[in-house]
Structure 1
Amino acid sequence: MKNIRIALMDMNNNQVNQGFKNIGEIAEAFRKNAEENVSIRTFDVRYRNEVPDIQDFDIFISSGGPGNPHREGHEWEEKFADFLNAVLEHNQYNDCKKYLFLICHSFQLASIHWKLGNICRRKSYSFGVMPVHKTEGGKQEFLFKNLPDPFYAVDSRAFQFIQPDYRRFEELGMKIVAIEKARPHINLERAVMAIRFSEEIFGTQFHPEANPEGMIENLKDIRNKEAMIENFGMEKYLETMDRMDDEDKIILTQAQILPRFLDLARRRIVQQTEATV
């Protein structure tokens, strides 16, 4: 029986985080349901400088986290950049691929590393449940297949990705698959919300792991509550809280994106293993 090895990369810099707990729960549910032997190991990237060796794992999920995604001179930053390069290079030259999902802070780090556009600080901190719109490419994206357009996701960020360098995307074979909602009354660019970096690497600015319980827990932080009211208004805040557990919103997003990523990776890993036997 095939062994599938998953590395969960904690980017929270020793801060307690509901999102990473949710990622662990999704990975554990996958382990329990898989026919294969699945092992899961956690790496504390920013606080303990722990970065997995890509040869030891098949699937990587790198979480969101606080702070500035631009380099500040920490040891882990170079290790993480080398890790990104190693996954991309391995997949270019090997039939047995490595699969990587990048969330929020990790998504920003990768976008900066590959020089894809302008990752800058937002005018104000964003927190809430927001509609995410598929691009033309996103309408064909396997991970979005069972989601409406727009679909709903938890947004939690002080930075944003705007002004993508389309020539760089084309050069690297990468594709923007989701953007934030249009705001005609505000003269601001729509931020990039998801990228298909390669066949094996995917990333989201939003939090596909989030669930209603975690969202409510996060709203105990007054900064998150105030940011949500500032971004959406009190009426929208109350409506969002009331509809938090609607089956067609963040519950659907959580049930689809990361589980589909894990299952697709599993199927491809098994196929690749059988092809080499």
Structure 2
Amino acid sequence: MQTPDARPLRVAVLDLYNGEPNQGMRCIRDFLEGVAAPSVSAPITYDIFDVRQHAEVPGLDYDAYISTGGPGSPWDGLDQPWEAAYFDWLDGLYHHNMTAAPKKHALFICHSFQLLCRHFGVGEVTERPAQSFGIFEVHRLSGGSEEPLFQGLPDPFYAADFRRWQVVQPDHERVAQLGATLLAREQPYPEYPYERALMGVRLSPEMIGVQFHPEADPQGMLVHFRRPKQRDKVVSAFSEARYQRLIDRLDDQQYLTPAYETIIPTFLRRAVAATHPVAAV
């Protein structure tokens, strides 16, 4: 419940969708505008920065940051002004959290997770042997057993996973040097002899990246994928069976709802606690 005189939590959203229509931004706005009822003790204001089209990045004067998913390869920005600006912002945020207060929490989703891992050398960022598209299990690693954003979720839990790229071959020496924690990996696929990709990394006490989409709204996504145009696209790219499994899992609350109701609300509450100590009481 919000405290009436609480200062707003100022959130910067780094939009990496490159101008392409998507469901991710709608879902993130729902949380920040209170539609998804995040239950934080302060009002929220936010600004959106168009990273890939206009090389826009926020300053360090925001309380919290959410960096989105996006289309294409996480290597598309090589030698591009937008990627240089993004990585400069990322270094600045990391340095601030190492040396100053109040600490600023940041959540990196899918495409942004891959960029985070690339920039800090957490692991190899490669193209996936086959595209992941659906609602799949996320399995905790030992380091994820105490992860605050996963508390209350079953192990494994389910999450929305739509990607052509992956982070594999974690550099454990570099992870230890950073003081980072590997949190989770994808479900096993017995029919494929491939390494299971990382699904979550806590880079620091304030900065976390996840490969999946914690913002994915089950009911909104269900409406989206039931549209004939979207159905035809999924069936054409995959199969009728894959499409029906997606619909069934979106329609069943045991799958996506727990992660949707836990991860981003917990992230926002922790951001409030870090920057609004009075409101967080």
Q: Does 1:81 align with 2:87?
A: yes
* Mapped contact 2:272–2:279 kept (Cα < 8 A): no
Q: Which amino acid aligns with 1:14?
A: G
Q: How many angstroms does 1:34 deviate by? A: 4.1
2:11 corresponds to which of 6, 11, 26: 6
Residue of structure 1 equivalent to 2:142: 136
Separation in 2, partners of 1:49, 1:12 = 12
Q: Which amino acid aligns with 1:25?
A: D
Q: Does 1:21 align with 2:26?
A: yes
Matches within 5 A, 1:171-210: 171-210=177-216
* Mapped contact 2:41–2:272 kept (Cα < 8 A): no
Q: Which amino acid aligns with 1:139?
A: S
* Mapped contact 1:179–1:192 kept (Cα < 8 A): yes
The TM-score with structure 2 as length reference comes to 0.89
Residue of structure 2 equivalent to 1:67: 72
Matches within 5 A, 1:157-176: 157-176=163-182
Q: Does 1:52 align with 2:58?
A: yes
* Mapped contact 1:132–1:180 kept (Cα < 8 A): yes
Separation in 2, partners of 1:7, 1:239 = 35
Describe the SS at the equivalent of 2:190.
Answer: coil
Q: How many angstroms does 1:122 deviate by? A: 1.2
* Mapped contact 1:4–1:38 kept (Cα < 8 A): yes
Separation in 1, partners of 2:194, 2:202 = 24
Q: How many angstroms does 1:183 deviate by? A: 1.9
Flag structure 1 segments of 5+ consecutive residues without an equivalent.
none
Change (3 A) 1:164 1:98: same
Q: How many angstroms does 1:158 deviate by? A: 1.0
Overall identity of the aligned pairs, in %: 37
Separation in 2, partners of 1:18, 1:53 = 26
Separation in 2, partners of 1:18, 1:188 = 29
Describe the SS at the equivalent of 2:196.
Answer: coil
Residue of structure 2 equivalent to 1:91: 97
1:48-86 deviations in whole A, cap 9, x for unaligned?
A: 2110011x2010001000011123322110000011101
Q: How many angstroms does 1:2 deviate by? A: 2.9
Larger mean CA deviation between 120-129 and 78-87 belongs to: 120-129
Greater helix share, 1 or 2?
A: 1
* Mapped contact 1:65–1:105 kept (Cα < 8 A): yes
Q: Which amino acid aligns with 1:194?
A: G
Change (3 A) 1:88 1:181: same
